[in-house]
Amino acid sequence: MERKNTWELYDEAALAELETLNANYREFLDNGKTERECIDTIVNTIEAAGYRELEEVITEGKRLKKGDKVYSVWMNKSIAMFQIGSKNMAEGMNILGAHIDSPRLDVKQNPLYEDGGFAYLDTHYYGGVKKYQWVTIPLALHGVIVKKDGTTIEVNVGENEDDPVFFVSDLLPHLAQEQMEKKASALIPGEALDIIVGNKPILVETKVEDKNADGKKEKVKEAVKAGILEILKAQYEIEEEDFISAELEVVPAGKAREAGLDRSMILAYGQDDRVCAYTSMQAMLDSKDTERTICCILVDKEEIGSVGATGMQSKFFENAVAEVLNLCGEYSELNVRRCLARSCMLSSDVSSAYDPSFAGSFDKKNVAYMGGGMVLNKFTGARGKSGSNDANAEYLAHIRKIYEEAGVNFQTAELGRVDLGGGGTIAYILALYGMNVIDSGVAVMNMHAPWEATSKADVYETYRGYKAFVEKASL
């Protein structure tokens, strides 16, 4: 089966809309390099579009009716959005679900140390990364530090032009003979991914009563580390022990950029899976009133197995659905189960894009191509479909019909060659409720690297596909 390149299908009006959407998407990426930043950006966006916080509506004791829009945030890292339809929620919802966490380096709880005249922050990598990709590139520090009195201090260093950046060092090639004999997985050990944050020792005035006092300045013990602590005290009013209650993420420094002389692509950090999060959110905002309630879930922790209180395996989403049912006057335990079982979902996650430089890793007949449009993955998982959702044929037929009627250009794919491995999404978790779920999203090149590439056309077409789905799905 051959499908047209998506770029061939657009007129001038569609191209203008495509460019506007992608410009807004790049801004979203720049403003949301962590889960917390994503949530802040999303909440500001959807509140401007008329969404109200679920807890506020509960406190007011108001009933929800057709067209009402509410959202619920959990621990500042996950969010569920609902637009109420005309049908009872017990008949099911149309759900878009993506994740907003991305591979990165996390700062440990006792991180600051000095060695060889450098001050370092000790890190632990998060998610599936090629460790050698994170050395010698400019890095930024994002996150929060929460003091014992509850004060939250936001940290964002490395993104502005006049900010300092950080880096992980690597061995010069002149001395790297032994290093280059290692496997790629062992080139850079995990414990070597510590970021350099300083090299300037602090000097203090000697006191007259001190031994050898001569009125000059001298270094203190661990003078470089001491200098960093002095800067942290002056700029953020924090002590070294405040790292214990901090969430600091090390990410590539720099803005999302257009790529290629034709500006057809986007090169940016965190496109897996914020490209699907953004297009899912925007599809919700642009959808008209619907018969079925429509929902968008954007969650944390997918890159490490969807675990924890903010991951898809938590009860956060199920609890939010119960609260919305209650505000619609439909709550019962049975109706919660019916609502979830009768729902249709697109697990909005990225797929691997065909890379001609590594052609042997893909099945050319069953791979996503950049510019090929929205990607549908019937199953993900690894090798013998371990960890897969595997959508049924009836549901795929229903999705095909929706997209053909809406003129959405789509392609089908697997992650890579069967025996090489694979990956998972949140699809199998929602499928546990008995609902129809299929993976869908944007093809990404350089997936999980510090800088990932997507096609503007695929971003736009995926947005169109998500919008058509939430408005028309009814199986």
- Stretch 8-21: mean pLDDT: 97
Burial class (CB in 10 A: 0-12, 13-18, 19+), 355: middle
pLDDT of residue 207: 60
Residue 213 scores a pLDDT above 80: no
- Enter the DSSP assignment of 191: G
Classify domain 6-102+269-472 at the CATH superfamily level. Answer: Zn peptidases (3.40.630.10)
Could you tell me the residue ranges of all domains in the chain?
6-102+269-472, 104-252
Phi/psi for 336 (5° steps) reads: -60, -45
Q: Could you tell me the pLDDT band of residue 424, with boundaries at 50, 70 and 90? A: confident
Q: How far is CA 300 from CA 77, 373, 387, in A?
A: 6, 26, 19
- Enter the DSSP assignment of 207: P
Closest among 434, 449, 247, 425 to 340, alpha carbons compared? 434
Q: Could you tell me the pLDDT band of residue 209, with boundaries at 50, 70 and 90? A: low
Mean pLDDT computed over every residue of the chain:
94
Residue with tokens 């675990």: 307
Residue 219 scores a pLDDT above 70: no
Residue 180 scores a pLDDT above 60: yes
Detail the DSSP E strand segments found in 3-138: 52-53, 69-74, 78-83, 93-99, 104-115, 118-126
Encode pLDDT of 328-381 as tens digits: 999 999 999 999 999 999 999 999 999 999 999 999 999 999 999 999 998 887
* Alpha helix segments (H runs only) across 174-327: 177-180, 184-187, 223-236, 271-286, 316-327
More confident residue, 385 or 33: 33
Is 104-252 assigned to CATH 3.40.50.2300? no
Encode pLDDT of 40-82 as tens digits: 999 999 999 999 999 999 999 999 999 999 999 999 999 999 9
Burial class (CB in 10 A: 0-12, 13-18, 19+), 54: buried
> Cβ contacts of residue 4 below 8 Å, gap of 6+?
409
Determine if the peptide bond prior to 273 is cis (ω within 30°).
yes
Residue 218 scores a pLDDT above 80: no
